[in-house]
Amino acid sequence: MRAIWKGAVTFGLVNVPVKLYSATEDHDVPLHQVHDADGGRIRYRRVCELDGEEVPYQHIDRAYDDGERTVVLTKDDFGALPAEANREIEVVEFVPSDQIDPIMLDRTYYLEPDSKSPKAYVLLRRTLEETDRTAIVKFALRQRTRLAAMRVRDEVLVMQTLLWADEVREAAFPSLDGSVTVSDKELAMSGQLVASYEADFAPEEYEDEYQVQLRQLIDAKIEQGDALDTSETFGEQPEKEDADVIDLMEALRRSVSGSKGGAKGSSKDASEEKAPARKAPAKKPAAKKSGASSTAKSSSAKTSSAKTSSTKKAPAKKAPAKKSSSKAPERKTG
């Protein structure tokens, strides 16, 4: 696990350095949207409505609009807020554990001691265990002040964020306002039914049936061959989204090319060869001069350009240049 926050639990003069970890994770099968006609992936882009340009995440700020004016808040503005800069989990009170309504519980986090000696951590843990109390704490996380309940679970301090009182909606249903009569016999029979279902709760005995069935459906489609080739369907889509990865890969290619001592392989040549190199099927037609049908499967644009030999030889020149520097001049003479 990776710590998402570092700070200290404080109560009185006691200071307990801790690391914060998310205690839960999503087990849902990851799905994304595609075009039903061809399986092409649907991607969402952050586009500025003024200039129509796609905006990288690092250049996106947040703003408040009251209907007449817009106030832009930068990352520096948020970082300067006193609550955000405070790295303390402040214990405000210790309350009986049964006074916390489960409806108020939100996200759960583990606290790990972040010091050479965990004595203060163990002291706080033992105190909560022996007094049967839950600590109500306040802290700032991800640009929000949080209220949380801190308790002990399996000898680890656990912090569960709480909803604020005004975030819990009132349950007001007119259908329950009228009086309903329940007989003693009905209540007794209902109690017998409950008794027949009594058991100790074992969460590991339960599973998410929907996700299990969904995974089985996906596996069955793969076995039946009812799946698309991801490299062909999505290969040309994410260039803008993965620009940093592509730039890194190009830098690695240039470094490897330079280390091999290729005198003809300058950085400019490497960038020119990048596009044909990504389209692997272009290599075979260049060498055999008869692979137009196989090339058509990977790109409809190549089949339309295959009618003229001059247009086909231009990109074919670049692919074999990657294998051998001697093939390029042979192509020019042929």
Residues 9 and 157 in one domain: yes
Share of the chain above pLDDT 90, in %: 32
How confident is the model at residue 253, as a pLDDT?
Answer: 58
Which pTM value belongs to this model? 0.57
Strand 62-65 and strand 70-73: the pairing is: antiparallel
Residues 17 and 151 in one domain: yes
**pLDDT exceeds cutoff 60 at 315:** no
**C-alpha span between 301 and 275 (Å, rounded):** 14
Q: Which residue has the higher pLDDT, 118 or 248?
A: 118
- The answer to the question of residue 216 being in a domain is no
Q: Which of 52-66, 90-104, 133-147, 253-267 has the lowest mean pLDDT?
A: 253-267
The mean predicted confidence, pLDDT, of the chain is 76
- The answer to the question of residue 252 being in a domain is yes
- The answer to the question of residue 202 being in a domain is no
**pLDDT exceeds cutoff 50 at 299:** no
How confident is the model at residue 231, as a pLDDT?
Answer: 66
- The answer to the question of residue 173 being in a domain is no
- The answer to the question of residue 294 being in a domain is yes
- The answer to the question of residue 98 being in a domain is yes
Residues 158 and 297 in one domain: no
Contacts of 1 (CB under 8 A, 6+ apart): 21, 22, 110
Residues 134 and 20 in one domain: yes
**pLDDT exceeds cutoff 50 at 322:** no
154 touches 141 (CB < 8 A) = no
- The answer to the question of residue 32 being in a domain is no
How confident is the model at residue 192, as a pLDDT?
Answer: 92
Count of domains for the chain: 2
Range of the domain at 161: 5-25+45-165
How confident is the model at residue 318, as a pLDDT?
Answer: 47
How confident is the model at residue 81, as a pLDDT?
Answer: 76
**What mean pLDDT is predicted for residues 200-229?**
87
Q: What is the pLDDT of residues 255-298, one digit of tens each?
A: 556 655 554 444 444 344 444 444 444 444 444 444 444 444 44
Alpha-carbon distances of 273 from 222, 266, 283, 299, rounded to whole Å: 34, 11, 12, 18
Residues 135 and 11 in one domain: yes
SS3 content of the chain, % helix, strand, coil (to 5): 45, 20, 35
The identity of residue 158, as a single letter, is: V
Residues 115 and 10 in one domain: yes
**C-alpha span between 197 and 191 (Å, rounded):** 10
Q: Domain boundary residue among 120, 140, 165?
A: 165
Q: Domain boundary residue among 116, 146, 165?
A: 165
Residues 21 and 138 in one domain: yes
- The answer to the question of residue 204 being in a domain is no
**pLDDT exceeds cutoff 80 at 61:** yes
CATH of the domain at 150: 2.40.290.10
Residues 160 and 249 in one domain: no
Q: Domain boundary residue among 165, 197, 232?
A: 165
How confident is the model at residue 84, as a pLDDT?
Answer: 59
CA angle (174 as vertex; 169, 179 as ends), nearest 5: 125
247 touches 61 (CB < 8 A) = no
Residues 12 and 131 in one domain: yes
Residues 13 and 153 in one domain: yes
How confident is the model at residue 288, as a pLDDT?
Answer: 43
74 touches 61 (CB < 8 A) = yes
Nearest Cα to Cα of residue 121 among 213, 10, 212, 207? 10
Residues 154 and 276 in one domain: no
Q: What is the pLDDT of residues 68-116, one digit of tens each?
A: 899 999 988 887 777 656 788 999 999 999 999 999 999 999 999 998 8
Residues 125 and 258 in one domain: no
Q: Is 218 helix (H, G, I), strand (E, B) or coil?
A: helix
**C-alpha span between 99 and 96 (Å, rounded):** 6
